[in-house]
Structure 1
Amino acid sequence: MLLLNEKQLFKTNLETIRSGFLFIHKWLRHLYWDLSAFHETTNFEHIKKHYFTSITPLNPAGIVPLSPRLDILEK
C-alpha cells in the first residue's frame, strides 16, 4: 500500500509520498533499484488492481483508475 495510490482510496491527500515524504520516497527507490529481490518481485499493476478491488465497501464498482507512470520506475 505504501507503493501506490496512497491518496486516492483512503482520502489522505495532503501530501504524496513523492512530494511530502522525501526520505520515505528515497528509501522506496533504494529498495526497488538496489535490492534485486524487491525489483524482480514487485508487480505494480497487480498491487494497484488488488488495492482498488479488495475493499468493496470503499470501491463498490471495483473501478481501477488509470494512473501516470510511476517515477520509481525511472532510475
Structure 2
Amino acid sequence: MMDRYLEPHQARQRPPTQYENLLGDAIERAFAQGITVLAELVAYLNESGPRAQNGEAWTEDNFRAEMARLGQ
C-alpha cells in the first residue's frame, strides 16, 4: 500500500506571483505578531506593505475582495 501524504500545493494551478508571495509573507508576519482582527491586519499591511495590487491602500473591503479573487 502506498503511503498517503499531504501535498500543500496540490490545488495550485500555477506558481504564485511575486505580489502573491509578498502579500502572503506580510500576512504571515502579521499573524506571528498576534494580529487576527481584520481592521488591524489592514492597518498592518498599509504600514508594512505590500500595497493592494492596484497600488492603492488596503481597506477591509478591497482586502476581502482580493482574498476572494486569490482563492478562486
On whether the aligned pair clears a TM of 0.5, the verdict is no
- TM-score between the two structures when normalised by the length of structure 1: 0.26
Greater RCO, 1 or 2 (C-alpha within 8 Å, sep 6+): 1
Bigger-Rg structure (1/2): 2
